[in-house]
Amino acid sequence: MSHKTQPVIAKKGPFVVELEADKTYMWCTCGRSEKQPFCDGSHAGTEFTPMKFTASETKKYGLCGCKYTKNAPFCDREHGKLD
């Protein structure tokens, strides 16, 4: 039985960022990126890959920092359940 490696918790809360409508972003799923919440390639050599997404409108978004959201890449307050 294989088990998935757990992501690094970059932040127990959202990263609030201004995103542009129709622009594509790469959200960090491993938690290792120095450019949180975006990917900087730090997942190399792990089983993680960044999540590509496009902002629907230009506004501030809360992107997940703990990497445990069930609504990736957006914060769903799942960090409140972590130790």
Structure tokens belonging to residue 83: 């130790």
Task: Count CB neighbours of 33 within 10 A.
Answer: 20
Instruction: Determine the 3-state secondary structure of 20 from DSSP.
Output: coil
Task: Please give the structure tokens belonging to residue 81.
Answer: 């359940």
Mean of pLDDT over the chain: 95
The answer to whether 36 and 28 are in contact (CB under 8 A) is yes
- Which pLDDT does position 83 carry in this prediction? 78
Could you tell me the residue ranges of all domains in the chain? 1-83
Per-residue pLDDT of 34-66, as tens digits, reads 999 999 999 999 999 999 999 999 999 999 999
Is this structure's pTM higher than 0.85?
yes
pLDDT at 2: 47
